[in-house]
Amino acid sequence: MKKLLLYILIVSVALFSCSDLDVIPIGQISDSNFPKTDEDAIAVTTAVYQPNVGISTSLGYAIDLTSELETNAENPNSAGALLGKMQWEPSNGYVSSIWNALYNIITRANDVVDKIGASEIITPALKTQLVGEAKFLRAYAYFYLVQLWGEVPLVLHNVEGDKTPRTPINDVYEQIVSDLKDAGAALPVYTEYADKDRGRASKGAALAYLAKVYLVWGQTDDSADATTRKERFGESVKYANLVTGYSLEEEFLANWDNNNRNGKEVIFSVQHLQGQAAASSGGNHLVHCSFYGGLSNSLFPHVYSTNYYEKDANGKVILSTIVNKWYNDFDDRDQRKRGTYLKDYRISDDSVFVYDYVRYRKYIDTTRINTTATTIDVNRTVIRYAEVLLLKAEAINERDGAPNAEAYEAINQVRRRAFRQSTGTASDVADLPAGLDYNGFKAKIQQERVFELTYEQNRWTDLVRWRIFVRTLKEAVDKKYIADDIGKQDVKPHFYRFPIPKAERDIDPDRLWQNYGYDGSLIQENPYRNYEPGFTDK
């Protein structure tokens, strides 16, 4: 991994405070030319956020499209289509773009931690906050890296960047936890930020991420004994309980309403603004993907449409128009059904447009329905309070081997909102049945995360941490939820990791050894053979 010349971007990142600053390559900043004022320090820290803006599409492709919930109809030889068909390789452009952006974040964050952290000029309280933001963003980047690639170079000081080999997974997790704890102690609660700064990392974001990191680490660390796992699940519950000051939106879709940016449920989101250096026209390209073609059926099947296949009377597999397995799994009373999928759109009182395929709904800005695919400035949700409640319920079940009343209450709050019930009052309509054991409650959690979090870049990482990735995709094809010509049946165990990008390995292939199953790998034995017994790469 080479160290890039990374430029401070003093373009209009409007939700963040910034000031005029000479454009200096971050990789060339030294003690003599590092920003000397509070305003310049804010601008340097703001630049750490910028690489995250440009990878909304890449993360959508890598984490959503590689699951059973999405199919792809792009050019069959494009990088996106190859991910959707389970044919990705080390040269895949989306894989490379995520790797590069995450290390871009890390490189910028390291300079803030090392250089602003050592400054005797910056106001002490501001310095504490800015270093906290940088540590949160560094942890955020490493959490993606360790989930997608496993062992990755752990670079904490930029002078080490081109020498660091791949680091053991547990060492990476230890650093993530350390950074998040430091960030949680340093950062303000989100209500202390001015409105224009609400996109910055907050104490709540650090605590929410600790809840998620401890749960995933506990579930995926094969070297951990039962006591260690239980301790990590307990830490997940502890930090979930410390996430306060947030509440569920009464309207599910309020979380993606441009008139409610950074609302009361959102804990951390990527701030997308028209004109930013992201995607071809600026902003959140996931909007374009979900609404490509607008009020038209002529361009379907669409990259993000999910289609349900059935057999006709003669046994022939057919596509059922406006039928979708996951759409149909929803209870009709659940507001998330129409909040997650778009089946029809009411243009006026006497005009309704009906789609031939079910589409994703969350990122469609209906206040600008005719231009929403090009004015793509809806924020990308990273973590919100509903997920914290689901993480808490799951962690309790993992810690205790069974759900308790607290776990039930956490998941039921999410379900009550979905069914428009009072979140603090028991509901015969929404609440899960009592008496579930560990496996029964886990199955409900897994289903609820689909209902709540579809199209929020969680599905591949969820299937991988639950170790049901290969089976889930193959079952979706076997049961004709998706057609067998889409390629999902070609999923193999080595897709439990993404390949180290070819361009990075070309620099130093010995230091950046390749993951199992990909071109250039020297690993002979499948390291994931015990994840899902019975499935092989053969």
> Which DSSP string corresponds to 98-145?
HHHHHHHHHHHHHHIIIIITT-SSS-HHHHHHHHHHHHHHHHHHHHHH
CA atoms 426, 427, 431, 433: torsion sign: positive
What CA–CA distance (Å, rounded) separates 289 from 60?
A: 9
**Which residue type occupies 482?**
I
Is the model's pLDDT at 72 over the cut of 80? Answer: no
Which of 239-248, 315-324, 342-351, 453-462 has the least mean pLDDT? 315-324
Which of 60-74, 174-188, 451-465 has the least mean pLDDT? 60-74
pLDDT band at 385 (very low <50, low <70, confident <90, very high): very high
Q: Give 238 or 75, the one with higher predicted confidence.
A: 238
> Exposed e or buried b for every residue in 111-127, given b needs 16+ CB within 10 A?
bbbbbbeebeebeeeeb
pLDDT band at 6 (very low <50, low <70, confident <90, very high): very low
Is the model's pLDDT at 24 over the cut of 60? Answer: no
Is the model's pLDDT at 235 over the cut of 90? Answer: yes
Residue 384's pLDDT is what?
98
Average pLDDT over residues 366-392: 86
Average pLDDT over residues 279-290: 66
Is the model's pLDDT at 266 over the cut of 70? Answer: yes
Residue by residue, DSSP assigns 60-95 as IIIIIITSTT----S-TTSHHHHHHTT---TT-HHH
Residue 193's pLDDT is what?
94
What CA–CA distance (Å, rounded) separates 272 from 270?
A: 6
Q: Which residues contact 78 (CB under 8 A, 6 or more apart)?
A: none
Which of 172-181, 287-296, 410-419 has the least mean pLDDT? 287-296
Q: Tens digit of pLDDT for each residue in 310-324?
A: 777 887 766 655 468
Average pLDDT over residues 161-168: 87
Residue 483's pLDDT is what?
82
- Of 85, 69, 66, 67, nearest in space to 77 by CA: 85
Residue 363's pLDDT is what?
87
Residue 2's pLDDT is what?
38
> Exposed e or buried b for every residue in 247-263, given b needs 16+ CB within 10 A?
ebbeebbbbbbeebbbb
Residue 17's pLDDT is what?
31
Q: Give 488 or 373, the one with higher predicted confidence.
A: 488
pLDDT band at 375 (very low <50, low <70, confident <90, very high): low
Residue 417's pLDDT is what?
98
Is the model's pLDDT at 357 over the cut of 90? Answer: no
Average pLDDT over residues 383-390: 98
Is the model's pLDDT at 19 over the cut of 80? Answer: no
Report the greatest alpha carbon distance in the chain.
Answer: 78
Is the model's pLDDT at 354 over the cut of 50? Answer: yes
Q: Give 24 or 534, the one with higher predicted confidence.
A: 534
Residue 319's pLDDT is what?
61
Average pLDDT over residues 161-170: 89
pLDDT band at 13 (very low <50, low <70, confident <90, very high): very low
Residue 280's pLDDT is what?
43
Average pLDDT over residues 124-137: 97
What CA–CA distance (Å, rounded) separates 176 from 280?
A: 32
The whole-model pTM stands at: 0.92
Q: Tens digit of pLDDT for each residue in 39-67?
A: 999 999 999 999 998 888 899 999 999 99
Residue 453's pLDDT is what?
98
106, 138 in Cβ contact below 8 A?
Answer: yes
Average pLDDT over residues 94-106: 96
Residue 304's pLDDT is what?
53
Residue 307's pLDDT is what?
67
Average pLDDT over residues 65-71: 91
The kind and range of the H/E element at 268 are strand 266-270
Which of 267-276, 328-337, 473-482 has the least mean pLDDT? 267-276
What CA–CA distance (Å, rounded) separates 468 from 446?
A: 11
pLDDT band at 258 (very low <50, low <70, confident <90, very high): confident
Average pLDDT over residues 404-419: 98
Residue 405's pLDDT is what?
98
Residue 89's pLDDT is what?
95
- Of 265, 307, 304, nearest in space to 287 by CA: 304
Residue 520's pLDDT is what?
95
Residue 302's pLDDT is what?
46
Average pLDDT over residues 15-19: 31
- Of 270, 299, 305, nearest in space to 284 by CA: 270
Average pLDDT over residues 28-39: 68
